[in-house]
Amino acid sequence: MNVFEKMFGTHSERELKRITSLVDKIEALRPDMQALSDEELQGKTREYKNRLQEGETLDDLLPEAFATVREAAKRVLGMEHYRVQLIGGIILHQGRIAEMRTGEGKTLVSTLPAYLNALEGKGVHVVTVNDYLAHRDAEWMGKVHEFLGLTVGVVLNDMKNDERRAQYACDITYVTNNELGFDYLRDNMVIYKEQLVQRELNYAIIDEVDSVLIDEARTPLIISGQSGKSTKLYEVCDILAKQLERGEASGEMTKMTAIMGEEITETGDFIVNEKDKIVNLTEQGVKKVEDFFHIENLADPENLEIQHNVILALRAHNLMFRDQDYVVKDDEVLIVDEFTGRIMPGRRYSDGLHQAIEAKEHVKVRRESKTLATITFQNFFNKYKKKSGMTGTALTEEKEFRDIYGMDVIEIPTNKPVARLDLEDAVYMTKKEKFRAVVEAVKEAHAKQQPVLVGTITIETSELLSRMLTREGIKHQVLNAKFHEKEAEIVAHAGEAGNVTIATNMAGRGTDIKLDEVSKEAGGLKIIGTERHESRRIDNQLRGRSGRQGDPGESRFYLSLEDDLMRLFGSEKLMNMFKSLGVAENEQIEHKMLTSAIEKAQRKIEGNNYGIRKNLLDYDQVNNEQREIIYKERRMVLDGMNMRDSIYKMITETVEHAVDMCLSDDVDQEEWDFNEINTVLLPTIPLKPLSLERVKGMKKNQVKQSLKEEAVKLYEEKEAEFPEAEQLRELERVILLKVIDQKWMDHIDDMDQLRQGIGLQAYGQRDPKVEYKMQAYEMFDSMIAAIQETTLRLLYHVRLEQKVEREQVAQVTGTNKDESGPKKPVHRAEQKVYPNDPCPCGSGKKYKQCCGRKPI
């Protein structure tokens, strides 16, 4: 705590002082609310809605509305909000994050701001991390809202669109973050307005906000369809990957070493950077790949696919681990969520990584997916007019919440003091010694009937400990991705006397672990962590399972110098120093340097991960601006707006651009290239060919005007072919939707390809992000031009007898949440030509001024 905080209190303490009077007002209304009959209490909802219409604000209504919910919860659930819960509710209404310890009743807190904000009738989303919690909370807390006359909905993974629409139409909807994001993307792919399921994004209360906005924000939400690519290359590359030898690099490749031309000595065929999850081929490796595929130069554009697939195969073998990152079940590779330890059915790694793992595990290799729509959680949740969150652990990420989401974190005091004892880490030289110590600690606690929750990071560790405990005759429950169906039930019993539970990365968030009397007397729930997580916050979540509502408890982490955290991020000098001390086997190492090394390693990774998320957001910001424009245009079409003016604008712009590109007043008319303008313009708009005779004596602007008038007249003739004007209007909408969707999907691929290649700009001492923005805007301009030209070409050539109906341009085959780092594009067979590149036709012009203007 710094001097300022000692004098004036922390930010949270100062903010809590400001709302004390508001909490006092709510508590003062308690007798009035208790005096009301059920009917009178229920009638308050109508009263508040009327007062809102008469000009009062939600802030004006807050004390009474909160007092109403407090009394309703007491009557319906037998639960009355504590003072600290009222404070939490105010913080949530203000659009901030309430940090409340485990067991402080966050679920009940959410009823306060949910009710108040639902009075506006614009919808409130209570966001949870899984379907189980969404369903549980909607049924449990929904009773309070329904008692007060509000409608409550829940959106679950297996629901059809009609059900989803009905649930989103409710006053308050309980839903997971993934369902929300995917429904938003799907809504922007529908072809009729009636197919939309969501309303406007108004107010979100995000439970476990750190999990949703931090942990899951490293990877975007992706909706994918199948590409037509063969799967044979994955199997071939898998054979090659097994033959290549892993090597080491002396030094680290950085931008500076590249610029300075410093050499790095490499051994083997490929180098694995475990910190950044990257695999690179060495010169020797490149040669082996070229020999294997009988190609001259792996770096040639036509060999990009081979290069990409070899790297994928090496990543599958060296960075993706069975029973940690994924499990194999029923001849299928299933992703394990690295933050919750749960299996994610239906999810596939994108960009071919899933296929590479399938080839490695010798299961059926399915076809690669193509991205149809994508968005990051950062950009999605920032679309809400107001958002708030609650969690037991957010202060460590306060800067990120403020910088990226504009939300500050307020620490809410506990209702009762925390009685849990957090012990110093127990550190051992090897993993073997560490696990022996863990088993001994479990035996000791089990002997005195103290319940134990053992937290592991991998399924492999949980199964190893399970075998060790079985050998010792200790009965226990295992909770990991393989047995997640019974999660809530297992967690609910974890606090009973003598129970031992092993949990992988999940610790059953959202389910309270309640202690019986015997457990309390034995010292409460004992938490054993078998490894430090990358993030201090996740460690704190595990600790937080114990000591709820003033219960006794203790926590301790057991570590070894062989753990990934210490191996990858700990200081090498420090590790060597401890190894040289000659510590006896099974002896615990205690040293403050070691504790600070662990803290430093975690801070380093947290900084690393924040960098990844920030980087993702910086790049997606460009995509987001473009996505907004496209989705807005699409929504106008869906809303059934008359697109005639838009079509006329397209005609004007297309004609003007073609004339500007091909004709000039600075040269004699005899030198005008009529062949070029006819080639550019006539395939799109079927005008009479332009010639010297037609335009003799006309200036460029006069030619423009003449062509525009002729083009409009042609379009009016096309309109006259249709008995009813609305027939052509609907046709315009059908064609526009089809063309926008097709071009936008191609553009997503192009942007991905640009994103992958842009990193090389750093070696040319240019800022990759600046280059990305410039090229992305040029590509977007080219896409808009292509949309205009293709739309006009189709409209001018459409015939009355043609039956043209709205249809989706690509079939959705699944959703994809790639946990494997940045997503790469589906590479095209030919090399990508960017707008400012010389045109491949050899004209000497820029591509965007030549063939890049032609309809695709």
Beta bridge pairs of residue 836: none
Residue 828 in tokens:
């095209």
The Cα 774–Cα 789 span in angstroms is 23
The Cα 264–Cα 258 span in angstroms is 10
22: nearest Cα among 54, 51, 65: 65
Query: Annotated binding residue at 210?
Result: no
The Cα 113–Cα 107 span in angstroms is 11
Rg (CA), the chain: 31
390: nearest Cα among 633, 133, 150, 581: 133
Phi, psi of 759 (to 5 degrees): -60, -30
Query: Annotated binding residue at 103?
Result: yes
Residue 579: other Cβ atoms inside 10 A: 11
- The greatest distance separating any two alpha carbons of the chain, rounded to the nearest whole angstrom, comes to 105
Query: Annotated binding residue at 104?
Result: yes
Residue with tokens 């070493």: 257
The Cα 103–Cα 101 span in angstroms is 6
**Angle, vertex CA 826, rays to CA 821 and CA 832, nearest 5:** 115
Query: Annotated binding residue at 85?
Result: yes
Tell me if 312 sits within 8 A of 357, measured CB to CB.
Answer: no
The Cα 178–Cα 826 span in angstroms is 24
Beta bridge pairs of residue 453: 501, 527
Task: Reduce the DSSP state of residue 554 to 3 states and report it.
Answer: strand
Tell me if 275 sits within 8 A of 608, measured CB to CB.
Answer: yes
The Cα 505–Cα 507 span in angstroms is 6
Tell me if 97 sits within 8 A of 404, measured CB to CB.
Answer: no
CA count, 13 A, side-chain hemisphere, 778: 17
CA dihedral (377, 379, 385, 387) in degrees, to 10, reads 30
Query: Annotated binding residue at 696?
Result: no
41: nearest Cα among 151, 148, 172: 148
The Cα 381–Cα 595 span in angstroms is 37
Query: Annotated binding residue at 106?
Result: yes
Ranges of beta strands (E only) in 431-470 are 452-456
The Cα 354–Cα 511 span in angstroms is 32
Q: What is the DSSP letter of 547?
A: S
Give per-residue burial for 712-743: e unless 16+ CB within 10 Å, then b: bebbeebeeeeeeeeebbbbbbbbbbbbbbbb
Binding residues: 85, 103-107, 512
Binding residues for ATP: 85, 103-107, 512
